[in-house]
Amino acid sequence: MPNAVVLEQKQQQVAVLKEKLSNAVTGVVVDYKGTNVADDTALRKELRENGVDYFVVKNTILGRAIEGTDLEDMKSVLEGTTAIALSNEDYTAAARILCKFAESHENFKVKTGFLDGKVVDTATIDSLAKLPSKEVLLATVLGAFQAPIAAFARAVQAIVDKGEE
């Protein structure tokens, strides 16, 4: 039986993780088995640069943190090595980076994830990974809005140019 200090530390870890999970808009749970230090360091750097919180977590701690929440369905994959990537703002960053990493590292696997507090399967995470970043989507939308205005401006300029001849 663990002593009171250890038990309190674990309860604190569960509380902190529960808070992080509730603040995240998206999360991806992975099996990082077989990842070497250099690759892991590069992965963590890329995730950090994109505002994603990535850390290794004990299965029991994560299991306790999701107990009684909508994320409880994730318990079925909590075995082996487990790490979790959480994003509080960008819906696609964690999925995009981790799925790309998994393609080039055969032992690294995406186990499950969640989106807006609901557990999603790996197919959904793969679809999410294929979406462009928020900045690219905004640029595309802005380009679509500007296209008719730009075409109108060119037509007006053509009329002006034709009148000068």
**Residue 131: which pLDDT band, with cuts at 50, 70 and 90?**
confident
Rounded CA separation 145/98 (Å)? 32
When pLDDT is cut at 50, 70 and 90, the band that residue 86 belongs to is: very high
Predicted TM-score of the model (pTM): 0.75
Q: What is the DSSP string of 38-91?
A: HHHHHHHHHHHHTTEEEEE--HHHHHHHHTTSGGGGGGGG--SS-EEEEESS-S
The tens digit of pLDDT for each residue in 14-28 reads 888 888 888 888 999
145 vs 86: which has the higher pLDDT: 86
What does the pLDDT look like over 100-128, one tens digit per residue?
998 988 888 999 989 888 888 888 888 88
pLDDT at residue 130 tops 90:
no
Instruction: At 149, list the tokens.
Output: 């205005």
Q: Which long-range contacts (CB under 8 A, 24 or more apart) does 123-126 make?
A: 125/28, 125/95, 125/99, 126/95, 126/99
Q: 40-75, pLDDT tens digit by residue?
A: 999 999 999 999 999 999 989 888 888 888 888 888
* Mean pLDDT over the full length of the chain: 84
Quote the pLDDT of residue 164.
65
Per the CB < 8 A criterion, the answer to whether 68 and 6 are in contact is no
pLDDT the model gives residue 48: 92
